[in-house]
A and B are shown apart, each in its own frame.
Chain A
Amino acid sequence: MPAPTSPRRPRVGVTLGPDRSHAALLDGGLVVAQASVPGADLRRLLRALPRPDVDGVTLDISRMLSDTARSAGGTGRPRVAVLRIVPRPATDDALGRHPATVVEDLVHGRFTVGGGSDLFGRALRELDLAGAERLAGLPAVRDADGIAVVAAGSHAQPRQELAVAAVLRRRLPSAHLSLAADLGGQGLVAREATAVLDAALGRRAADLLDEAEDAAGRLLPGAALTVARGDGGWASLALARAHPVLGVGAGPALQLQGAAALAGRTDCRVVLSPAAAEGPAGHVPLGEVRHGLASVQPYGTADLGTALVVPTAALTWMPPAAAGSAAGTADLPLVTADGDPLQLACVGAAVSRPTAWLDEIAVIDSTERLAEVRRDAQERATAIVTANGAAPGTATVVEMSAVAVPYSPSGTVRVRVRIAGVADDRIGIR
Chain B
Amino acid sequence: MRAVGTVGTAGTVGTAGGVGTAGTPGTAGGVGTAGTAGTAGTSWVGTAGALTAADVPALYEGATFYSPAVGDASKSSLVDWLTELLERNGPVPVQRPGTLDPETACVAVCVMGSGSALADLPPAGDEFATAVEHLAQVCGRRFGAVYPLAAATVSALVPVAAAAQLSVPLLDADGMGRTFALIHHTAMTLGGLSPAPLVLCGATGETVAIGAAAAWRADGLARPSVDVLGGWAALAAYPSSAGRLARVALPGTVSRLVNVGRLLLSTTDADVLLTRLAAITGSRRVGRGRIVELEHLSRPSDVTVPAHPSSVVVDELPDGDAPGRLFRLELRSEIVAVFADGALLAATPDLICLVDVLRGRVSTLDSLEPGDLVDILVTPADAVWYSPEGLAMVGPATHGIPLDHPRRR
A residues adjacent to B (C-beta < 8 A)? 86-95, 98-100, 116, 118-120, 124-125, 152-153, 155, 186-190, 269, 286, 288, 290, 295, 297, 299, 306-307, 314, 316-319, 322, 325-326, 329-331, 361, 364, 366-367, 370, 399-414, 416
Extra contacts besides A87-B203, A119-B116, A186-B71 (14): CB < 8 Å: A94-B81, A95-B125, A119-B114, A119-B231, A186-B73, A307-B72, A307-B76, A329-B270, A330-B373, A364-B296, A404-B308, A405-B114, A408-B116, A410-B307
In chain B between 226 and 285, which residues have their CB closer than 8 angstroms to a CB of chain A?
Answer: 227, 230-231, 268-272
Q: Is B305 an interface residue (CB 8 A)?
A: yes
Are B368 and A401 within 8 A (Cβ)? yes
Within the complex, what minimum Cβ distance (angstroms) separates A397 from chain B?
10
Question: What chain B residues lie within 8 Å of A98 (beta carbons)?
Answer: 77
Within the complex, what minimum Cβ distance (angstroms) separates B264 from chain A?
13
Would you list 5 pairs from A and B whose C-beta atoms are within 8 A, ordered by A residue? A87-B204, A119-B116, A153-B120, A326-B358, A407-B333
Q: Which of A152, A325, A405 has the most chain B CB atoms inside 10 A of its CB?
A: A405
Q: Which of A94, A190, A364 has the most chain B CB atoms inside 10 A of its CB?
A: A94
Are A416 and B369 within 8 A (Cβ)? yes
| Number of CB contacts from chain A to chain B under 8 A | 219
Are B268 and A366 within 8 A (Cβ)? no
Are A153 and B297 within 8 A (Cβ)? no
Q: A290-B371, A405-B114, A411-B308 given as contacts; is B334 within 8 A of A152 (CB)? A: no
Instruction: Give the distance in Å from the alpha carbon of A408 to the alpha carbon of B112 in the complex.
Output: 10
Are B73 and A401 within 8 A (Cβ)? no
Please tell me which one of the listed residues B74, B125, B317, B369 contacts residue A401 in the complex, with CB atoms under 8 A apart.
B369
Q: Is B366 an interface residue (CB 8 A)?
A: yes
Within the complex, what minimum Cβ distance (angstroms) separates B329 from chain A?
12
Within the complex, what minimum Cβ distance (angstroms) separates B60 from chain A?
13
Question: What chain A residues lie within 8 Å of B69 (beta carbons)?
Answer: 406-407
Within the complex, what minimum Cβ distance (angstroms) separates B130 from chain A?
9
Q: Is B79 an interface residue (CB 8 A)?
A: yes
In chain B between 81 and 115, which residues have their CB closer than 8 angstroms to a CB of chain A?
Answer: 81, 84-85, 113-115
Are A86 and B203 within 8 A (Cβ)? yes
Q: Is B205 an interface residue (CB 8 A)?
A: yes
Are B366 and A405 within 8 A (Cβ)? yes
Instruction: Give the distance in Å from the alpha carbon of A50 to the alpha carbon of B269 in the complex.
Output: 45
Instruction: Give the distance in Å from the alpha carbon of A409 to the alpha carbon of B333 in the complex.
Output: 10
Q: Is B52 an interface residue (CB 8 A)?
A: no
Q: A186-B120, A318-B269, A402-B294 given as contacts; is B305 within 8 A of A88 (CB)? A: no
Are A407 and B113 within 8 A (Cβ)? yes
Q: Is B341 an interface residue (CB 8 A)?
A: no
Within the complex, what minimum Cβ distance (angstroms) separates B139 from chain A?
24
Are A95 and B123 within 8 A (Cβ)? yes
Are A314 and B81 within 8 A (Cβ)? no
Please tell me which one of the listed residues B72, B76, B269, B303 contacts residue A322 in the complex, with CB atoms under 8 A apart.
B269
Are A116 and B296 within 8 A (Cβ)? no
Are B205 and A410 within 8 A (Cβ)? no
Q: Is B208 an interface residue (CB 8 A)?
A: no
Within the complex, what minimum Cβ distance (angstroms) separates A11 from chain B?
27
Contact indicator per residue, chain B 45-56, by CB within 8 Å of chain A (1) or not (0): 000000000000
Chain B residue nearest in CB terms to A188: B120
Are A95 and B122 within 8 A (Cβ)? yes
Are A188 and B308 within 8 A (Cβ)? no
Q: A94-B81, A367-B297 given as contacts; is B307 within 8 A of A404 (CB)? A: yes
Within the complex, what minimum Cβ distance (angstroms) separates A285 from chain B?
10
Within the complex, what minimum Cβ distance (angstroms) separates B73 from chain A?
3
Are B305 and A152 within 8 A (Cβ)? no
Are A99 and B121 within 8 A (Cβ)? no
Question: What chain B residues lie within 8 Å of A326 (beta carbons)?
Answer: 269, 358
Instruction: Give the distance in Å from the alpha carbon of A411 to the alpha carbon of B365 in the complex.
Output: 15
Are A399 and B369 within 8 A (Cβ)? yes
Instruction: Give the distance in Å from the alpha carbon of A87 to the alpha carbon of B233 in the complex.
Output: 14
In chain B between 352 and 390, which residues have their CB closer than 8 angstroms to a CB of chain A?
Answer: 357-360, 365-371, 373
Q: A316-B360, A330-B357, A402-B294 given as contacts; is B307 within 8 A of A189 (CB)? A: no
Q: A94-B84, A186-B120, A399-B369 given as contacts; is B301 within 8 A of A410 (CB)? A: yes
Question: What chain A residues lie within 8 Å of B343 (beta carbons)?
Answer: none
Q: A89-B124, A187-B73 given as contacts; is B308 within 8 A of A410 (CB)? A: yes
Q: Is B134 an interface residue (CB 8 A)?
A: no
Instruction: Give the distance in Å from the alpha carbon of A297 to the alpha carbon of B356 in the complex.
Output: 13
Are A124 and B120 within 8 A (Cβ)? no
Are A405 and B297 within 8 A (Cβ)? no
Chain B residue nearest in CB terms to A367: B297
Q: Is B346 an interface residue (CB 8 A)?
A: no
Chain A residue nearest in CB terms to B272: A322
Please tell me which one of the listed residues A91, A124, A297 contacts residue B124 in the complex, with CB atoms under 8 A apart.
A91
Are B121 and A116 within 8 A (Cβ)? yes
Are B73 and A99 within 8 A (Cβ)? no
Are B366 and A406 within 8 A (Cβ)? yes
Chain B residue nearest in CB terms to A154: B120
Are A408 and B114 within 8 A (Cβ)? yes
Chain B residue nearest in CB terms to A190: B73
Are A95 and B81 within 8 A (Cβ)? yes
Instruction: Give the distance in Å from the alpha carbon of A187 to the alpha carbon of B118 in the complex.
Output: 8
Chain A residue nearest in CB terms to B116: A405
Q: A118-B231, A317-B268, A412-B307 given as contacts; is B80 within 8 A of A90 (CB)? A: no
Q: Is B119 an interface residue (CB 8 A)?
A: yes
Chain A residue nearest in CB terms to B179: A407
Q: Which of B69, B115, B117 has the most chain A CB atoms inside 10 A of its CB?
A: B117
Are B297 and A407 within 8 A (Cβ)? no
Are A316 and B358 within 8 A (Cβ)? yes
Contact indicator per residue, chain B 113-147, by CB within 8 Å of chain A (1) or not (0): 11111011111111000000000000000000000
Question: What chain A residues lie within 8 Å of B270 (beta carbons)?
Answer: 329
Q: Which of A93, A316, A408 has the most chain B CB atoms inside 10 A of its CB?
A: A408
Question: What chain A residues lie within 8 Å of B227 (beta carbons)?
Answer: 118, 409
Question: What chain B residues lie within 8 Å of A361 (beta carbons)?
Answer: 116
Are B367 and A403 within 8 A (Cβ)? yes
Instruction: Give the distance in Å from the alpha carbon of A403 to the alpha carbon of B297 in the complex.
Output: 11
Q: Which of A93, A314, A316, A399 has the most chain B CB atoms inside 10 A of its CB?
A: A316
Within the complex, what minimum Cβ distance (angstroms) separates B132 from chain A?
15
Q: A92-B85, A186-B120 given as contacts; is B76 within 8 A of A99 (CB)? A: yes
Within the complex, what minimum Cβ distance (angstroms) separates A294 from chain B?
13
Chain A residue nearest in CB terms to B112: A407
Within the complex, what minimum Cβ distance (angstroms) separates A372 from chain B?
13
Are B121 and A152 within 8 A (Cβ)? yes
Are B305 and A410 within 8 A (Cβ)? yes
Question: What chain A residues lie within 8 Å of B305 (beta carbons)?
Answer: 410
Within the complex, what minimum Cβ distance (angstroms) separates B348 from chain A?
14
Instruction: Give the distance in Å from the alpha carbon of A414 to the alpha carbon of B296 in the complex.
Output: 12
Are A189 and B115 within 8 A (Cβ)? no
Are A186 and B116 within 8 A (Cβ)? yes
Are A405 and B307 within 8 A (Cβ)? yes
Are B296 and A406 within 8 A (Cβ)? no
Within the complex, what minimum Cβ distance (angstroms) separates A253 from chain B?
15
Question: What chain B residues lie within 8 Å of A124 (beta carbons)?
Answer: 121, 203-204, 230
Are B365 and A188 within 8 A (Cβ)? no
Q: Is B220 an interface residue (CB 8 A)?
A: no
